[in-house]
Copies of this chain bind each other. A is one copy, B any other.
Amino acid sequence: MLRTPTTSSARRTRDRILDAALELFNERGTAAVTTNHVAARAGISPGNLYYWFSDKDEIIRELYAGFAGAYEEMWSGDEADVMDVTPAELLRRLAAGAALSHRYAFLSRELLGLLHSDPVLAAEYAAVRERRTATFDALARRWRSAGVIRPLDDQGIADLIQALWVIAETWLALGELSGTSVESADGERLLRVVLEPYLLPARSEVTSR
């Protein structure tokens, strides 16, 4: 059962569990981490952990909620404001999400697998993704109307959005593999190589730097 803290010391315990779990998941991956490990790292007893969370999956879901919430904040605000985002600003925000991805590194690596084995998590993810895709889609259509990007058909817009999304979600974890240190600039460059050719010269702000 998902328990809500009632005192401030309790909140501290609950958060300590989440912090400990995040650390361990990032270090060793969720598969290699048990509830006992998390309790030990958090400095509490295994029994106490079960007072706050029913199992490991619930901890993972809670961590995902934290990630998703932070991500949504990046795109909250008046709908009008969001629709005023320029291509350059979009790339900046997508790449900025990398900082978040780095904090929740285990999600970058494992999310697809976790979604496959936890239907509850999959439902949460689908909701976030749908909202985000709708926003980006509307934004891209607006750019098209305003002559900011080449006149793609709706399918083309959807594909472009999806391509950017895939890269934004994956480049960090994939880049870590190559050994070389991974900079946020790398992600932005990768996104730009996809988006840039669709920008019409007159309005383009993304090439200026």
Contacts and interface: CB of A to CB of B under 8 A. Distances in A.
A198 B167 CA distance: 18
Q: Quick one: copies of this chain in the complex?
A: 2
A74 to B, nearest CB: 20
A113 B117 contact: no
A194 B156 CA distance: 11
Shortest Cβ-Cβ A-B pairs, 8 listed: A197-B197, A31-B31, A109-B112, A110-B113, A159-B193, A109-B113, A29-B117, A112-B173
Contact of A113 (B113, B179, B197): B113
A156 B31 contact: no
A174 B163 contact: no
B174 A113 contact: no
B29 A126 contact: no
A190 B163 CA distance: 6
Given A177-B122, A177-B125, A112 B110 contact: yes
A209 interface: no
